[in-house]
Structure 1
């Protein structure tokens, strides 16, 4: 965007903000989102709003992500998995078994992401709108709200984790002046005064990023990928050089019991760190310039980057723990240990750089995995008032309000629940992939996704709910659910525990198969219509589509517009939203 355009936009926003305090009409105009073409021609007689700028398909000029942008995005995102090896070692694998399982689990995750990103790449719609096409206009609210609620908690948890790197930075800069800050917070709260300062500063770092949509963050994710690589490799080289690669036993294997069940359990555990990303794919892929840019790039990048990062973490911590007599896994604890052992100006500067790079890495992960999804979800839950940036500001404040330090210090059962929620999302992904590839042949009637009345013959289903999808979802979570409850402290059978350990994989497979079989026997109305129309694969994927009232809509430039004809019969494009008002 040019400087002149930025100044014009800033001036318009400033005028709107000032007018909001001059009159009731001005305040209403300020808090409400602008009407869109799809909103005007989707379901105009309904009091419910189904469209806003961020729910509409991404117009061409905002599809700014090329395949190399996705490579740097996933490189930076995946290369921060330093502690994934601790999960594998913690359940009983040795070092080389951990590396193989991590690569296998990430390959499976990337395959799932590959398929789940296709619909958004082709039709340029985010997860909430994709959910409408599969679960129904009203049924989608449950699946969107559930993801939004979990994003709030995970956003806060990641904020608290990143604050540890901020603590490293502050110690490097201020030394004992930071570490000796008097604590005025009760121990029962779970955080110290110094820790609260670090949390608040890291929270502030997130704040400016709330104003941007994903297509505007390409440069940031590129920057993140550039600085995280030398940080990870640099810390690894230090650990090897300092300890003379004294790896010791490098975590011998300690598991017992059935090897097959255990390997499946380990693979499922390895997928835990990408379960959120698999579900979130539409919110990232919708900004792709091409139909395949978001698919092949991550399929190659993610497994390699995660495996290399986790391997470096395993070897580095093995060397340090064996030589220094410690038991560390988290990189911020390792940085603290280095400062304790080698306190000097040079060391402080080096640790400052490492902590800064790691902090930026975690910042990017939190934005991609939690901030953007919540912004997308909230724009659907309250489309009249919330856009993606507004939703991102909301989660920024909610993450502070939930007091994540209290959750992590006193609610181990709750954090176990958060780690295992992937099995609930696996069923969602399975149904979305099955519906798109096998049952609707990749055909999505975009114009009907903004029409919530019974007249919507494609996506109203049964009173707004796709019952076939709901049934498959319940079946998918039913088998692993008792074992999941067992991880929260309940007494369950051995069989239930083993099924629970299959988690994501079992839930995905069951929901996929059940949904396909049920829809073959009892197809949805939308599936029947597609079959009657004889549509080929992705035949509906064009730059123009028809709204529910018959108006032809075109995706052109920076907006989604109505196409009409003038008296000469020539096509005329009319923009129907974004008008500035004065009060």
Structure 2
């Protein structure tokens, strides 16, 4: 039966493709997404599309079936976060005493983190503290998606309003493009290691025909293009179809990190010297808080992106507890290995510039120990590290952009289509040019967490404290004034907007100062507390403001006397009271759930459920 359905589906796709080049209607049918049950019942009378299969709640069959390889149970999330977090080799460079700023430690410098001034053990403790705070935030931001199986764009609708959500989704999508390109360029460095191991001087001696002002060489462009191609096949898959890949990534990244650490220790006989000493003058309080906030910049995007990953969980808490210790322990351990390895290599080899980045270290190993066995070992290590960056780029940038773009243009874009779009956009923005010259712009990217922390704070506060975990799924697809829950004020949750602005207001002057403007010392100090300060202020302001001036949705929930997560469950109820359940080819109406009152029971013929 499955083989027959697959053949029929392939035949139908071929027919649609042929028709697309024959008539206008055929082309429109090909590029437009198909109606879903929520299209028919979620926003009656609307001429626009606010629903597609990626915006609708994830159906049970995509969270439970073995054939779809969904990351559905807690151990699947453990391997996901283990592979995502264990490659943070260079995070220690953001904490250690004054370091020369160059492209080799670019990732630290763009975040304004290089050389905070802590010693080695202070750095390790601060990294663990920052990652634990991040994991707690990820824990709470995963709940709504785990329970209702909706991604970040739809969760944003429930909090910020049907039209207000476009800003918060669009802002994340725009930054995902830049970071996608940046990670592409980082991974291309490992691709260069691989090509050098295979072709030797035939790769390194490729004549350069690209002007120096561009910021990349011909050989570098070749490595970038090849790593860009590696991403291409993954664009066709949704997150639940990538469980095997993330499992594979977690398996190979562990020996790659440990192998590089063991080499550094064996090669130098463990000569880590005094490691790194603190050079902080005066009170350490501000520096410690600054360092914790800096460490959180490493996971700021991941905290915001949690709903896009947690929505595929089979259980309500599978995506929460699984990462609470996995993520901070993995990041801290890998960063500690990076600190010790860099100290040992620097002391033994007498380097002026510490080799923080693993691709530079692998290149230095080839320079010193060029042989067939060394090339093979470096090839395996570089390949593993490249896969690690590939997985991070997919999870932190490609999937979120696909999810965001599916909401911005639901009539034409699904998650896979959005992922193909960001693949081409990331190439088009020329990230090598950005990294080579636009220091102010890259510093702006480093402040991404400042703006997103307020968003997370409001989402968490609204779900846990103000709406008691109740989300009315059917109303999340109705953009009209008849939407009593999420239309708010002209489609905007004004209380949320006020809290958001308050959250970014205090650290914002310090952030502007990091871009080159002259600001006061207190403003600089507040700016260094970016994520923590922004989160706290937005959370408190939104909670207090809603106690005094509750939203229409909060009033209705209180009036209905709903308890904790009483609207949760695998059953999806559209706004008109239609219960969308898997029952052959039908959906049926229920009279006991809609807040509009009793609805007559009847059946509707539809082509798809959810």
- Give the drift of 1:78: 0.2
Secondary structure at 1:444 match in 2: coil
Tell me how far apart the structure 2 counterparts of residues 6 and 107 of structure 1 sit (CA, whole Å). 45
Instruction: Tell me the residue number matched to 2:23.
Output: 23
Q: Do the aligned partners of 1:61 and 1:557 also contact (CA within 8 Å) in 2?
A: no
Task: Indicate conservation of the 8 Å contact 1:563/1:574, yes or no.
Answer: no
Determine helix, strand or coil for the equivalent of 2:393: helix
Q: 1:503-582 to 2 correspondence within 5 Å?
A: 503-554=530-581, 556=582, 562-564=587-589, 574-577=605-608
How far apart in 1 are the matches of 2:561 and 2:285?
A: 44
Provide the residue aligned with 2:208 in structure 1.
183
CA distance in 1, matches of 2:604, 2:82: 40
Q: In the alignment, does 2:277 pair up with 1:252? A: yes
Query: Which of the residues 82, 92, 96 maps onto 1:75?
Result: 82
The partner residue of 2:383 within 356, 360, 384 is 356
Change (3 A) 1:571 1:37: same
1:205 aligns with 2:236: no
Q: How does 1:152-551 map to 2 (within 5 A)?
A: 152-326=177-351, 327-551=354-578
In structure 2, the gaps of 5 or more residues are: 64-69, 97-114, 591-599
Taking structure 1 as reference, are residues 4 and 319 closer, same or farther at Cα in structure 2, changes over 3 Å only? farther
Q: Which residue of 2 aligns with 1:54?
A: 54
List per-residue Cα deviations over 1:238-282 (Å, max 9, x = no partner): 000000010122111112232111111000000011000000000
Please give the secondary structure, in 2, of the residue aligned with 1:73. Answer: helix
Matched, 1:87 2:87: no
Q: Pick closer, same or farther for the CA change 1:570–1:420 going to 2, 3 Å.
A: closer
Q: Judge conservation of contact 1:60–1:558 (CA < 8 Å) in 2.
A: no
Other structure's SS at 2:497 match? helix
Flag the 1:72–1:557 CA change in 2: closer, same or farther, 3 A.
farther
Alignment CA distance shift 1:246-1:7 (3 Å): farther
Q: Deviations over 1:465-519 (max 9, x none)?
A: 0000000000000000000111111100000000000000000000000000000
- SS of 1:158's partner is helix
Instruction: Answer yes or no: is the 8 Å Cα contact 1:66–1:288 preserved in 2.
Output: yes
Aligned partner (choices 148, 160, 168) of residue 135 of structure 1: 160
SS of 2:89's partner is coil
Following TM superposition, by how much is the alpha carbon of 1:443 offset from its aligned partner in structure 2, in angstroms? 0.2
1:581: which partner in 2? none
Does 2:12 correspond to 1:12? yes
Compared CA separation, residues 570 and 498, structure 1 to 2 (3 A):
closer
**Shift of residue 12, structure 1, vs aligned partner:** 3.0
Given that 1:151 and 1:371 are in contact with CA atoms closer than 8 Å, whether structure 2 keeps it comes out as yes
Equivalent residues of 1:562, 1:576 under 8 A apart: no
Structure 1 residues 88 and 7 mapped into 2: Cα distance closer, same or farther (>3 Å)?
farther
Find the aligned partners of 2:239 and 2:11 in 1 and give their Cα distance.
23
| Whole-angstrom distance in 1 between the partners of 2:371 and 2:199 | 13
Distance 1:571 1:62, change over 3 A: farther
Deviations 1:352-407 (A, max 9, x none): 00000000000000000000000000000000000000000000000000000000
Q: Is residue 588–residue 601 contact of structure 2 (8 Å, CA) maintained in 1? A: no
d(CA) in 2 for partners of 1:307 and 1:297?
A: 17
Cα deviation for residue 542 of structure 1 reads 2.0
**Residues 2, 178 of structure 1: CA spacing in aligned structure 2 closer, same or farther, 3 A cutoff?**
farther
CA distance in 1, matches of 2:371, 2:19: 55
- Residues in 2 aligned to 1:558 and 1:488: alpha-carbon distance in whole angstroms: 58
Q: Distance in 1 between matches of 2:286 and 2:62?
A: 46
Native 8 Å contact 1:448 1:456 kept in 2:
yes
Whether the 8 Å CA contact 1:62–1:558 is kept in 2: the answer is: no
Displacement of 1:15 in angstroms is 2.7
Q: Aligned to 2:441, what secondary structure does the other structure show?
A: helix
Give distance in 2, aligned partners of 1:100 and 1:181: 45
Q: Tell me the distance in 2 between the aligned counterparts of 1:15 and 1:206.
A: 29
SS at match of 2:383: helix
C-alpha deviations, 1:98-135, integer Å up to 9, x for none?
Answer: 10000000000000000000000000000000000000
Q: Once the 2 structures are TM-superposed, how far is the Cα of residue 20 of structure 1 from its aligned partner?
A: 1.1
Preserved CA contact (<8 Å) 2:577 2:589: no
What is the CA-CA distance between 1:558 and the residue it aligns to?
11
User: Contact 2:474–2:574 at 8 Å: present in 1 too?
Assistant: yes
Distance, in Å, in 1 between the alignment partners of 2:119 and 2:359 is 24
Deviation at 1:563, TM superposition (A): 1.9
Secondary structure of the structure 1 residue equivalent to 2:588: strand
* Structure 1: tracts of 5 or more residues without a match: 579-583
Displacement after TM superposition at 1:570 (Å): 9.7
* Alignment partners' CA distance in 2, 1:128 and 1:558: 29
Residue of structure 1 in register with 2:110 after alignment: none
**Structure 1 stretch 254-263 or stretch 358-367: which is displaced more?**
254-263
Aligned partners of 1:34 and 1:577 also within 8 Å: no
RMSD: 1.7
